[in-house]
Amino acid sequence: MYIPDVELHESESLEHAAALLERFGEAARVLAGGTDVLVDLKTGRTNTAHLVSINRISSLRDVSLERAADGAITGLRIGALTTIRQLDSSSHLRERFAPLRDATREMASAQVRNLATVGGNIASAVPCADLPPILMVMRASLILWSQAGQREVMLEDFFVGPRRTILRSGELLVGIRVPTPPADFGAAYSRFSLREGNAIAVAGVAAALRLTHDGDISNARIALGAVAPTPTLVKAAGAAMCGRAADAETFEPAARAAMRAAAPISDVRGSAEYRRQLVGVLTNRALRRALERARASQERASSGGSELGRQL
């Protein structure tokens, strides 16, 4: 394998990058960490003639907390050029945002995590990407920028097919916004791969639960990765749990609903049926971990721990 002839363009600003993307159209791709696009070039999956690098746009490389006028934390903002390692090591990923580490710590190898970006993991629209499922259940939105203006879309509305998104010509993913979860919330991501380190997911499931004061489920979300053409939010699985007790008897029908929603393929990593069965196992696993975290969050809130969260 070799990298074919390609012209590299270094962008100094968003305006410059957008102008280049509009100029070269479908012959251009954005270059961030390069862990996806360079592989695509080597394998001949893309015939890209122009790479538009955005690595010099330092404003896209940041993890910060967003606050309301009274100082309360309203969410987490992640710059698109933030690497997986930078996100994983951010001090802002405490308590409420900690479930993101379920994905960042399991993803690929240390070398890849040092280069791969959060924005690239999303914008590449690879079905087996690890961050989209957990971000979906945490109700993340994406900030998309173009010279015509900025818009914000929910992550679950971003993907339209394998390696296809709603990004318009000249439009860039510049940031990810994750709202601060409530004190009765817990989320988790569970994946399965064929070996540790540098292995892409055979199947992945993210789950999120919100509990009532009595400990029942008031809201639930389940998202799948690597088992459908796109990362997929399974609304039926989440709806099946609402108003019910948070226990194995409730989780099992949700796991079956997730299995029905899966549309896996058979390849060298496993058969479609094997992956579908994995979805059931991983859904139960993610739900149990999400429940543990939701209960722990409730306990912290009742003992004054939520006040600490607002001060972080």
Question: Using CA atoms, how far apart are residues 192 and 201, in angstroms rounded to an integer?
Answer: 6
Residue pair 220/209 in contact (Cβ under 8 Å)? The answer is yes
Q: What is the pLDDT of residue 106?
A: 85
Q: What is the pLDDT of residue 198?
A: 60
Give the containing element (helix H, strand E) for 217: strand 217-225
Residue pair 129/122 in contact (Cβ under 8 Å)? The answer is yes
Q: What is the pLDDT of residue 94?
A: 81
pLDDT of 247-277, one tens digit each? 999 999 999 999 999 999 999 889 999 999 9
What residue ranges do the domains of the chain occupy? 7-53, 58-179, 185-305
Tell me which fold the domain 7-53 belongs to: 3.30.43
Flag whether pLDDT at 41 surpasses 90.
no
Residues in contact with 185: Cβ distance below 8 Å, sequence separation at least 6, in sequence order: 96, 208, 209, 210, 211, 294, 297
pLDDT of 176-196, one tens digit each? 999 999 999 999 999 999 865
Predicted TM-score (pTM) of this structure:
0.93
CATH number of the domain located at residue range(s) 58-179 in this protein = 3.30.465.10
Flag whether pLDDT at 135 surpasses 90.
yes
Tell me which fold the domain 185-305 belongs to: Enolase-like; domain 1 (3.30.390)
Token pair in block for residue 28:
């251009």
Question: Using CA atoms, how far apart are residues 24 and 34, in angstroms rounded to an integer?
Answer: 19
Q: What is the pLDDT of residue 197?
A: 52
Flag whether pLDDT at 134 surpasses 90.
yes
Flag whether pLDDT at 48 surpasses 60.
yes
